[in-house]
Amino acid sequence: MARIARLPDIVANKISAGEVVQRPASVVKEILENAIDAGASKITVAIKDAGKELIRIVDNGAGMVREDALLCVERFATSKITGVEDLDSLQSLGFRGEALASICSVSHFELKTRTAKATLGLRLRYEGGVLAEESGVQGEQGTTITVRNLFYNVPARRKFLKSNATEYNHIFEIVKSFVLAYPEIEWRMYSDDEELFHVKSPDILERLNVFYGDDFSAGMIELSEENDYLSIRGFLGKPAMQKRRKLDQYFFINRRIVQNRMLSQAVQQAYGDLLVERQTPFVLLFLSIDPSRVDVNVHPAKLEIRFDDERNVRNMFYPVVKRAIQLHDFSPDLEVTERDQLLSGQGSQSAFRKLSFPDIPHRAMTTDDLYRNYREGAFAEPEPSRFSPLHQAAMFPNQGGAGYAVPSSNLREGDEGLSSFLLAPLYDDDALPNPKDVEPKIWQLHNKYLICQIKTGLMIIDQHVAHERVLYERAVEVMNQNVPNSQQLLFPQKVEFRPWEYEIFEGIRDDLYRLGFNLRLFGNKTIMIEGVPQDVKPGTEVTILQDMIAEYQDNASKLKLEKRDNLAKSYSCRNAIMAGQKLSLEEMRSLIDNLFATREPYSCPHGRPVIIKLSLDQLDKMFGRK
C-alpha cells in the first residue's frame, strides 16, 4: 500500500499560511496589494485588538463578478499572470494566488464585492477555509474584506503573536509605507473605532508631515536621476534627522516596498562621516527598473528582491545619493527664541551637568588599580622630557627659553588635543610640582574617544558607552532607592503619542516617574512633560521620551529584560553623549571619574567594551624597542 498521499487543500492552505501569513500585518499587506491592483482610489483600513480580533479593508476598486469572487480564495488562483513568462514583465503587486487562500483558511473570512455594472453585490462568508454562506448584498462598487479571529484554528500560531503594541506597530508601518508609495490614493485608518488619519493630499511632503510632524518635510533633500537603465527619485533626510531605527528607511522598487541590504549599505556609506555611531538617515526612495531585471519571486512575503546585476545597480545608485548629499548645504540656521534666551542661564551649565553623577545612597565605588594607575599617570613623566629653560632655548631658539613649547597662536584649529600636550609646562628638576596638584592628561580623538595617559601606558575610552554605563547605574539606583531626581521645566512640553506608544507609556508610567519624569495627562493619548531627570539636556525632553519608548519597545521585542532594567537601558542609551560631540577638559575628567565610580566600568549595559588599555611594553614592541 502506498505511503505517500496528497494532502487535502485545507491542510495545504494552513501550511502555506505559515509562510505567507506570519502576523496580522501580513494580512493587511496582502489585502492592500490586491486593493491597489484593483485600481482603487480610496482605501480604508480598520483593525481591532491590533488585528487579532478584526481586520477590515474597504476599497472602491473594480470589484469582482461571482466566478472571480469564488476563485479568489482558491489556492494558486490569480488574475495577475497566466504563464511563467509573465514574471519577467510583472506590473502588479500580487501574482502568486496564495494569500487569500491562506488567510481564509486560518480565520473567519468575509468578502463583499460589486462591479460597476452589477446592481447587487455578492457576500461570501468562510469559516476556516470552508464556504459557510453566500448571499446578495447592497453596497458601493469595490471590495470589502473582513478577517476576524485570525489563527483561531491554529492556536500554536496565535500563541506566538506579540503584544498588541508590537503587532499594531507592524500594521501601522505597513499601512504608512503604502500611503507614502501611492499618493494618488486617498487613505483612511481606524484602530479600535478611533480614526488615526485621513490623508487626501497627493503631495508626498504633506503626507510626511502627517506621520512625522509639522515641518518634517523641511528637512528633506529631494533627489531625482534617470537613465536608460534605472531611475531614482525621492527624498533623503538631513543628518540632523538621524534615527536609530531602520524602520524609517523606505525603498520602493517599481512601487513595491522591499528590503535590500545593498541599498541600505550604499546609503549609509554615502552619508559617511555625517552620521554618528549606530544611526541611520531617513530615506524615502523610489527606484524604477525594467521588471525583467528584478526577481520578486524570492520569498512568500514578497519583501525581498534580487537584481540580475546588483553591482551595476549599486554603481548607479551610490553616486546619485552621494552627489545629492555633497551638493547640499548642511549648515543649520540659528534662531534664538524667547525660550532659548530664558534658558540661556542654565544652558551654560547643561553640558557639565549632563556628565555629573550626584551622590546616591548605597552607590558602589570601584577605585581599583586601573583608576589609581590613571590618577598616578598624571605625574608619570619619563626623565628625558623634563627640560630646563636652558634645554628649551636650545631646542626652540625662537621662543627665548619661555616655559612653553609652542605659542598658541601658531596652532591650527582642531589641534587642541595636541596643544594640551605641547603647551604643558616644562619644569626644572628642582622645581617639580606636587603630584596631588597635577591632573591626568586627557585628549579627545575625533570627538569620539578619550585617550588618557596612565602610569603604565595609556587607556582609550569610548565616550558614548562610558556615559551609558554612568547613566544606566544611576537610573537603576534612582528607581530602586526612590531618590528625588526631577528638575521642573520652565515651559512644559506636549507629547502626542501614537496608540502603540501610549500603551507602552501606560505600562512604564510609574517607573518613569521614579526615574525623574514628571508627566501629566493632557487629553487623549497626549501628555505634558513638566519635569525631567537632571541628566536630560534642555531642549531634548520630547525627543528623549519618544526615543526611550521606541528603544524600550525594541528591547522588549528582542530581549527578555525586567521592566526597570529595560527602562534604565533605554534611558541611558538615548540620553548618553554621542560620538561626534566635543567635550571640554572638565567634562572629560568628570566623565572618567564617574565611570570609575560605577560597579562595572569596563562594559556598557549592552555588553560592549568601554575601555581599551595599551601598555608601554606593547608600544615598545610595536616600535621595535624590544
Q: Do 278 and 333 form a contact (C-beta atoms < 8 A)?
A: no
**Residue 371, CA distances (Å) to 366, 378, 450, 454, 613 in order:** 8, 12, 15, 9, 12
Per-residue model confidence as pLDDT tens digits over 531-575: 999 888 888 888 889 888 888 888 887 766 788 888 888 888 888
- Alpha carbons 619 and 625: distance in angstroms, whole number: 8
Q: What stretches of 388-485 adopt beta strand conformation (E)?
A: 442-445, 449-454, 457-462
Residue 64, φ and ψ in degrees, nearest 5: -135, 145
Closest-CA residue to 258 (of 450, 33, 553):
33
Quote the pTM value.
Answer: 0.61
Residues 6+ away with beta carbon under 8 Å from 367: 596, 597
Q: Got the DSSP string for 309-324?
A: THHHHHHHHHHHHHHH
Closest-CA residue to 127 (of 102, 156, 157, 106):
106
Quick one: residue 334, left, alpha or beta (phi over 0 = left, psi -120 to 50 = alpha)?
A: beta
pLDDT value of residue 10: 67
**Starting from the edge strand earliest in sequence, which strands make up the sheet with 526-533, in order?**
486-496, 526-533, 518-521
- Alpha carbons 225 and 248: distance in angstroms, whole number: 22
pLDDT value of residue 453: 87
- Alpha carbons 255 and 293: distance in angstroms, whole number: 15
Amino acid at 580: G
Per-residue model confidence as pLDDT tens digits over 599-626: 888 878 877 788 888 888 888 888 888 6
pLDDT value of residue 471: 92
- Alpha carbons 562 and 200: distance in angstroms, whole number: 43
Q: Do 111 and 72 form a contact (C-beta atoms < 8 A)?
A: yes
Residues 6+ away with beta carbon under 8 Å from 33: 93, 94, 99
Which sign does the torsion angle of CA 5, 8, 14, 16 carry? positive
Q: Do 557 and 166 form a contact (C-beta atoms < 8 A)?
A: yes
Amino acid at 454: I
- Apex CA 194: angle with CA 505 and CA 104, to 5°? 100
Q: Do 86 and 108 form a contact (C-beta atoms < 8 A)?
A: no
Residue 506: count of CB within 10 angstroms of its CB: 12
Residue 359: count of CB within 10 angstroms of its CB: 7
Q: Which positions of the chain have pLDDT values less than 70?
A: 1, 7, 9-19, 76, 79-92, 94-97, 239-247, 273-278, 297-302, 329-369, 376-438, 559-560, 626
Residue 188: count of CB within 10 angstroms of its CB: 17
119 CB burial (10 A radius; 0-12, 13-18, 19+): exposed
Amino acid at 11: V
- Alpha carbons 175 and 542: distance in angstroms, whole number: 25
In this structure, what C-alpha cell is assigned to residue 132? 459557510
Helices (H) and strands (E) in the chain, counts: 19, 22
Q: 3-state secondary structure string, 505-550?
A: HHHHHHHHHHHCCEEEECCCCEEEEEEEECCCCCCCHHHHHHHHHH
pLDDT value of residue 334: 41
pLDDT value of residue 625: 81
The strand pair at 283-289 and 249-253 is best described as: parallel
pLDDT value of residue 429: 44
610 CB burial (10 A radius; 0-12, 13-18, 19+): buried
In this structure, what C-alpha cell is assigned to residue 473? 547605574
- Alpha carbons 591 and 357: distance in angstroms, whole number: 9
pLDDT value of residue 270: 87
Full set of structural domains in the chain with CATH: 9-202 (3.30.565.10), 216-326 (3.30.230.10), 369-463+609-622 (no CATH), 465-581 (3.30.1370.100)
Closest-CA residue to 109 (of 129, 137, 134):
129
pLDDT value of residue 332: 43
Q: Read off the DSSP letter of residue 84.
A: G
In this structure, what C-alpha cell is assigned to residue 523? 487629553
- Helix, strand, coil share of the chain (percent; to 5): 40, 20, 35
pLDDT value of residue 125: 96
Per-residue model confidence as pLDDT tens digits over 367-403: 456 777 777 665 555 444 443 443 334 333 444 433 3
Q: What stretches of 392-485 adopt beta strand conformation (E)?
A: 442-445, 449-454, 457-462
Total length of the chain: 626
pLDDT value of residue 286: 96
Q: Do 276 and 234 form a contact (C-beta atoms < 8 A)?
A: no
Q: Read off the DSSP letter of residue 348.
A: H
Residues 6+ away with beta carbon under 8 Å from 324: 221, 223, 236
